[in-house]
Chain A
Amino acid sequence: MIETRGFKILRAFGLVFLSAVVLVPLFVVVITSLKPLEDVQGIFTWIPSEITFQPYLDIWKTVPLADYFLNSLIVVCIATAFSVVIAVLAAYALSRFPFKGARTFSLMVLSTQMFPGILFLLPLFLIFTQLQRTVGIQLNGSHLGLIITYMTFSLPFAIWMLAGFFASIPKDLEEAALIDGTTRMGALWRVVLPVARPGIVAVSVYCFITAWGEVLFASVMTNADTRTLAVGLRAYASQTDVFWNQLMAASVVVSLPVLIGFMIVQRHLVTGLSTGAVK
């Protein structure tokens, strides 16, 4: 766009406005997490009476935050790993071989990606109940049950995004390797995967972020022992007093891993989202 003076003035104001929209809630979270308890019991104040890091120490004692953290890590890491491994294979097939049924398979992946989790939660909950009754495998309330439900959204997404990444990698590389006598799996493993690594990392981080922030499945599929952060944070608010300062401190702590991951891969994420979805 050609930048007139009017546009430049508008841009300055616009960027300040958008920054304020983003920053005000973030400021409220961070400043509240640094307040002593007396400060958060009355009307909200923009400036704390004193700055204290005590909430960041207390959060681990008020509720078993470390356990929730560990539960979240286990479930989200395993669900992401399974999804990405299965998706790499399927996406490679979709992006390289014009096989019969490829279109049907893509249609299935694409459409299931768009259905709300509640459509899968009800029947999966019933299947898990019945499995426990007949075979004795406990899935409701177990890590495995939550992992399976998390794959309902991360798997189709990973397949779709990775297929976009693979399609953008030139075929010449593997062809050279195949002519040199490498097996097909070898070509995927040693030639394609190294080139596609930024894409695979971006997809993994994206799956991780989505699963980390998921509430619906976690609210049904976890119990006191397997509670994840998404549900566990409510414990700060369910006592007679709401420990707002601790709740905000805990929010900062649980956001850090995904924020850092996001910052690292954001550039590849843009490429992946726009080639995968907007093709």
Chain B
Amino acid sequence: MNDQTPITREQRIEKLQGQGCSRKRVEDVRFTQGKGNYVDDIKLPGMLFGDFVRSPYGHANVKSINTEAALKVPGVLAVITAEDLKPLNLHYMPTLAGDVQAVLADEKVLFQGQEVAFVVATDRYAAADGVEAVEVDYEALPVINDPHKSMDDDAPTLREDIAGKMEGAHGARKHNNHIFFWEEGDKEGTDKALADAEVVVEEQITYQRVHPCPLETCGCVASMDKITGKLTVWGTFQAPHAVRTVASLITNIAEHNIRIISPDIGGGFGNKVGVYPGYICSIVASIVTGAPVKWVEDRIENLTATAFARDYHMTGKLAATKEGIITGLSAYVLADHGAFDACADPTKFPAGFFSIVTGAYDIPVAHVGVDGVYTNKAPGGVAYRCSFRVTEAAYLIERMIDILARKLDMDPAEIRMKNFIKKEQFPYDSALGWEYDSGDYHTAMEKALDTIDYKALRAEQAENRAAFDRGETRTLMGIGVAFFTEIVGAGPVKNCDILGLGMFDSCEIRIHPTGSATARLGTISQGQGHATTFPQIIASEIGIPAEDITLEEGDTDTAPYGLGTYGSRSTPVAGAATAMAARKIKAKAQMIAAYLLEVHDSDLEWDVDRFQVKGNPELHKTMKEIAFAAYTQAIPGLEPGLEAVSYYDPPNMTYPFGAYIGVVDIDVDTGEVDVRRFYALDDCGTRINPMIIEGQVHGGLTEALAIVMGQDISYDEIGNMSGSSLMDFFLPTAVETPNWETGFTETPSPHHPIGAKGVGESPNVGGVPALSNAVHDAFAHKGLTHTQMPHDHWRVWKTAQSLGLTE
């Protein structure tokens, strides 16, 4: 093999496009040309289309369903109802949270938009006509949309199917509308800290119901091949292997006869983790008709019926000294899970990782309690661009710290610095049981404050406030500071599983004879750029250029088993598996090189893309040469070939962190909030592709802006959901999105093979409190303590009005 080896070592490194390189996204070649292949692009011969009849009521008995007229609609082949699914025992399906969810309404509907019947037709138009022709007779029932009223004595029982069953998936239920109570920490000690404290602040903080709203809605194509007995399902699945296992368990089709394929996915953000009635109905329809069946929800259906996020009603209490040292934290949450508990959390954590609520602070004692309740709202509670319930926790602690600072008349940045866990305290055991792997919070905060020139901003704000009081301006300036610690990379199999499936992940690497490679992972990109970044990890590990490595994900027939992509787990878990699989290859490559160079293994050292003899680098074998030898030579004591697989069970979570500062100008007369500047400093450990990190941060911040400034899924008192179209649900465009400034520090994770921590969700976790704190800060000197999100123009104007600031 005559390698065209670049001359210098630097050129060899550059050629790899490995870790730390802002390699351009390989996915974009097809996306920018309109050549992506999404679920709705899949067209099979004879394919049928399914569409749902959905409930207009929030809570009603279904007295009868008349399908006669619908079946007469030309093109309509079948109308499936719960009665048809019952004999198959498929009218309910398991949720990821240990509950069950009605696939089609079983005698009653529990939320507006709930699936009542599934119409199967030869084309999409006929299916829609069929839906319109199905006559459903409802009897309206009283609606509960306020979680605070769910457990009232006289509250109507929502879930008749589990009424009286007082033992739930997460312990005892204290009311028919109660799902679970979960707690962590030292209640007695926390109560004592609060009782003994010099200063206590308490606040009710609600994180409103929002929705991930991915640009591509959920959908699938199910195809049952009656000849081979094999079921293939293409779908918008963030966890294809988990879907395969669940599908096998509930349909009794053997798992090897089910093939789940996630093609290109247009954004997930947690919305595509769960299992939806559309999947089950499409599979049933395909089995019944023998033809492929496609179901793709429209935007209203996506916002109305597939998984929402948040709806956390939190009470925070902080105990502190007069100097602002926090001595205790208590958090209680009323969690509105909607009609079915379809959260996507690791099984043992019904409130996710909400116990990260002590944040970046050295809080000696803390307690959290969470009550989950049913209401007449859509099910869900997924992690919308955050690890499980982490953004709720970060929002609570970051608002509480600001409220404490205000009470003590301290600067919000200063009080944070005072309470940070110090660099030398890592690994740090939090009061709520987590072992923070690493961190350097003071350095990150100082860098953020310097970069944005915090002192100058505060001076400008003082001038602005004086000018406002003199009547010279109608604009108030707000500065929002937030510091967050995430907990991502779920997770260690010893305590993290979903439906019993351990949350490890996997990578298989095959090096081909001519020195290129194919890698397959148990994860699935929904826009994160896996095909770009994972080859970079391999390139740095084994010296094959990233462009010579193809990444495949999302086909359960070929990819190794993994738990999928959400909760910023791909890099911490599958990224670690990738590095470990590469190291197995490298170990074998070293033996091959030793044979070829006729030296002992230990006489060799690794250098960029080759093994060389120590002290004599002229004697070397590149990985490309080694790969060729692995397939062409008989090497004593070694199997031919060069491939490896790794299943990685992470020893701990990773704890990325960041310091975010936002500056807003608020027009008190219109309530308009203009984000003048926003600086996001992220520490995600080792950085694999800085450009992709920056892109992730931009996207997450934009979603944070959306949540803080407008996203709101609300229900009226009779059960109507508002915010179900993009006319009402706020999705920022370039017009509303400010310029994001980004920065970083780099504190590698000590337990991750390459020190990476994950970053996809940090900007949402930190962005929400930073922007909300900025809005509050603008009015803080006028006496505002807390007001609920979203801070849309109307609410901000109402706040200004209530403070007597409007004209």
Instruction: Answer yes or no: do A and B interact.
Output: no
A residues whose Cβ falls under 8 Å from a Cβ of B: none
B residues whose Cβ falls under 8 Å from a Cβ of A: none
